[in-house]
Structure 1
């Protein structure tokens, strides 16, 4: 839930890939289908909180979460709802844009969400909740990279943008295998800042990638701890 890339493929197709940087002792259930209020969702589940950081909905929608807003925040003692539950609520909503516009995020820990919707045409949105204010905008259909503010400084974020730009310059076209390789790169930066990172209490535990090619939408999950 801490490094995300988005690659538009043209013709309403895309690849979105997410690294989960988390405590290696926190258990994850690999992706499977769930019925949530009558809506079929596919997502890996955080066993502790019951939510997820990335999910697909039969409503032609993908939601991906990163912890933190624009900057690193001081954690409060109390939050009324897990951020991973918000992901599921957006996935099952009838109109994701209206849901986000109307929703009150007060007393929820800061987060960033990438929303991809292809009900009519492909639309991609970024939602940042900074703990006080909601920042919601539609994105251009261009490659994007996000790094979680809770783990990465502005300097680290910029380094990752540079690595991504270098990677983009080497691609003739976008292939899922190549972006998965990028997300598992341990050679850039150092052990604590590389794309596949490792620190004393947190490391990249998995990579999840979703590709949409016409009517086929597929989620690929790699557990990096096995």
Structure 2
């Protein structure tokens, strides 16, 4: 929920996310399928509130969450519900882009959500009082870093590293993107895999591979050294150590 990238290549779309949390927080449950509002959804689940930061559904749609809107904010909880539950409400719909525009976000902590649905890529930011929408070009590459964990300089450095990666990998693969996200780039404070003295660490890397007729979710538990793959087309969950 703290770093997200989007890359398109050869009619496939790759969305990859790193989750950074304090080591005191319980690890997420392994990805599994759940039925939300009659929509099949696959996601790793946060034990704390039952929500998630990354989810895909049976309609080859994906939604990914980042904490914070445009600037680092001060938490004013308790809030009406967690942002992870908001994400499930969005993706548990045949039309997530319509849901995010209609839903009431009063007393929800600021967040950014990236939605890929029906060939459209949209960035939506909630600043605590107003929604902001940006329609993006799904044939271009993008990266987001959570404003709650990374300052402007760190975000710029990360964007430069990402641009260099995209430039150097004309034939990008899902594995090469995961490798990029799994690298600290010689910076344990602001790299893509962090290990800060404050106790903040990168818990996992999650990736959705979306094609016209299928979607695959991969989840890499960095702390437990486990890998999970969920293939919607075959309804198969694979786990490897």
TM-score class normalised by the smaller sequence: over 0.9
Moved over 4 A (4+): none
| 2:203 corresponds to 1:205 | yes
Partner of 1:106: 106
Q: For 1:215-226, list aligned pairs within 5 A.
A: 215-226=213-224
Cα distance in 1 for residues equivalent to 2:184 and 2:60: 33
Give the distance between the partners of 1:29 and 1:113, measured in 2 at CA.
Answer: 21
Q: Normalising by structure 2, what TM-score?
A: 0.88
| Contact preservation (8 Å) 2:60, 2:212 | no
Structure 1 residue 71 corresponds to structure 2 residue 71? yes
Q: Do the aligned residues in 1 keep the contact of 2:39 with 2:93 (CA within 8 Å)?
A: no
Residue matched to 2:18: 19
Does structure 1 residue 52 correspond to structure 2 residue 49? Answer: no
Q: Secondary structure at the match of 1:156?
A: helix
Q: CA deviation at 1:46?
A: 0.1
CA distance in 1, matches of 2:94, 2:117: 12
Superposition deviation, residue 59 in structure 1: 3.0
- Give the gaps of 5 or more residues in structure 2: 225-241
Unaligned ranges ≥5, structure 1: none
- Give the Cα–Cα distance (whole angstroms) in 2 for the partners of residues 213 and 109 of structure 1: 32
For residues 191 and 144 of structure 1, the distance between their equivalents in structure 2, rounded to whole angstroms, comes to 22
1:39 Cα shift? 1.5
Q: Secondary structure at the match of 2:210?
A: strand
Partner of 1:41: 41
User: Structure 2: how far apart are the matches of 1:53 and 1:126?
Assistant: 15
* SS, match of residue 26 in structure 1: coil
| Residue in 2 that maps onto 1:4 | 4
1:177 lines up with 2:159 in the alignment: no
SS of 2:156 mapped into structure 1: helix
Q: Between Structure 1 and Structure 2, how many residues are aligned?
A: 221
RMSD, aligned CA = 1.2
Tell whether the 8 Å contact from 2:206 to 2:218 is kept in structure 1 after alignment. Answer: yes
TM-score, normalised by the number of residues in structure 1? 0.94
From 137, 153, 156, the counterpart of 1:155: 153
